[in-house]
Structure 1
Amino acid sequence: MPVVSAAVCPHPPLLVPEVASGAAPELDDLRTACLTAIDGLSNATSVLVVGTGPVRATFPAAAGGSFGAYGAPAVRIGADDPVLPLSLAVGGWLLEQAKAAQLPRAYLAVPTDTTPADCLRLGQEIAEGNDRIGLLVMGDGSARRSEHSPVHLHPRAEIFDTTVAHAFQHTDLDVLRALDPDLAAELQAAGRAPWQVLAGALEGSTVTGDLTYHAAPYGVGYFVAQFILSG
């Protein structure tokens, strides 16, 4: 049972206070929920951060991430050049604020158009390793939740996000496995592929899950959940 715990978090750059600037307090509850969920990874011996990226790629712990494109050039993670896509950069930044910061880490980028079958297979491969892995799975829900969303309101956005929230709360892997990639793309739900990697990694295990945050403060669905595996 190499995957021993997992956490799901969103990846808006506004989680970084220097990016959010004066609006930073608006996401205090979300930041707290993320850090609490990530603290649940402390039973692992290493952390794998999974998120979306333009191509499938793995990155070592020293890989760099920058928030310069979001107005905070002084905020960086990692010792090497900034190569991490946003989802992984936010994941790395969150890790560095949490108790799990001292654990060895690696990063995995999964393209948003990865098929469900490939996502599940990738998760199963992760679970077949020898290390006690904590998964930090980064992904946003629909970006079409309101008229003030990054993309205009879609009538199916809230239903989609509510379905995902229910799956996290009840650890319903069947629902996560069945998420439609075409609908997720239409709704601009960036988390679909990473969540299906998670579903593959948790397959066959006894899992206790807890959804600790679900809201759409800027018209984008954000979820925080944590999972402990016991067999």
Structure 2
Amino acid sequence: MPVVAAAVCPHPPLLIPDLASGAAPELSDLRELCLAAIEHLAAADSLVIVGSGPVTGTRYDATATGSFGPYGAPGVTVGSPTGTPVLPLSLAVGAWLVEQTKTAALPRVSITVAATETPAGCLALGQEIAQGNERIALLVMGDGSARRSDHAPVHLHPRAEIFDSTVAAALELADTDTLAALDPDLATELHAAGRPPWQVLAGATAMAGLRGHLGYHAAPYGVGYFVASWAL
């Protein structure tokens, strides 16, 4: 099967040390786990990064520029340092993480999926990504619910932890059926930005026979973060 490995990471801008300030040590374990998961993708022929964006299906090559200026670090960029910033946050964080690893040597493309994309549309995009003969690695960027605690960006929701626990179990087991069945309305209510990218992952790997490992699941700022590795 063309998809031979996948990694799932969150995309808070605080993963970038220049943005984290005093929180940098607090997130060091999460950052290192993300980098380790991405290192395991380097044996593929090419890399596809999937993350949320304004519309579904916009594609960027490795030279596309992303800037962390809007988050307080104008000097931190990815891609071409002289280009106009075009990458949404999810793909900019993904590109930054990749560029810290040997996986950066792979040819890569980054693809957006809209927050409002239907499950069927997400699965179809995943199936499209998996077509062809190249051995593809996926880096899937997505956060869980932003309603996990009273200190979350949006106030606590009673179903947030159950939703995220369901996702965590699916990532541990490489359970594409459960990811494909995530309710988009509930995900929207819970401010779970990862729902569309995870369903792209489900579409791309449904027949790949990958095995999962969940390396991280916590909500340090009231937002669910996951790190997972899938491999043959």
Structure 2 length normalisation: TM-score? 0.97
Cα displacement string for residues 148-192 of structure 1 (whole angstroms, at most 9, x for unaligned residues):
000000000000000000001111111101000000000000000
State the secondary structure of the residue aligned to 2:230.
strand
Question: Is 1:136 paired with 2:142?
Answer: no
Partner of 1:40: 40
How do 1:106-145 residues align onto structure 2 when only pairs under 5 Å count? 106-145=109-148
How do 1:45-84 residues align onto structure 2 when only pairs under 5 Å count? 45-56=45-56, 57-79=58-80, 80-84=83-87
Q: How many matched pairs?
A: 229
- Cα drift, residue 104 of structure 1: 1.2
Partner of 1:27: 27
Aligned partners of 1:75, 1:87: CA distance in 2, in Å? 15
- Cα drift, residue 108 of structure 1: 0.2
8 Å contact kept, 2:127–2:203: yes
- Cα drift, residue 130 of structure 1: 2.5
State the secondary structure of the residue aligned to 1:211.
strand
Cα displacement string for residues 52-88 of structure 1 (whole angstroms, at most 9, x for unaligned residues):
0011211111000000001001100011321000000
Question: Is 1:182 paired with 2:182?
Answer: no
Matched to 2:100, the amino acid is Q
Percentage of matched positions with identical amino acids: 67
How do 1:214-229 residues align onto structure 2 when only pairs under 5 Å count? 214-229=217-232
Taking only aligned residues, the RMSD between alpha carbons, in angstroms, comes to: 0.8
Aligned partners of 1:207, 1:188: CA distance in 2, in Å? 28
Aligned partners of 2:176, 2:78: CA distance in 1, in Å? 32
Aligned partners of 1:151, 1:129: CA distance in 2, in Å? 41
The structure 2 residue matched to 1:169, chosen from 167, 172, 186, is: 172
Matched to 1:36, the amino acid is A
Listed as ranges, the gaps of 5+ residues in structure 1 are none
State the secondary structure of the residue aligned to 2:40.
helix
State the secondary structure of the residue aligned to 1:38.
helix
State the secondary structure of the residue aligned to 1:204.
coil
Matched to 1:73, the amino acid is P
Q: Please identify which structure carries the higher helix content.
A: 1
Aligned partners of 2:183, 2:225: CA distance in 1, in Å? 18
Cα displacement string for residues 81-128 of structure 1 (whole angstroms, at most 9, x for unaligned residues):
210000000000000111211111110010011000111111111111
Matched to 1:50, the amino acid is V
Question: Is 1:193 paired with 2:227?
Answer: no
> Which 4+ stretches in 1 moved above 6 angstroms?
none
- Cα drift, residue 202 of structure 1: 0.6
How do 1:77-116 residues align onto structure 2 when only pairs under 5 Å count? 77-79=78-80, 80-116=83-119
Matched to 1:65, the amino acid is G
Listed as ranges, the gaps of 5+ residues in structure 2 are none
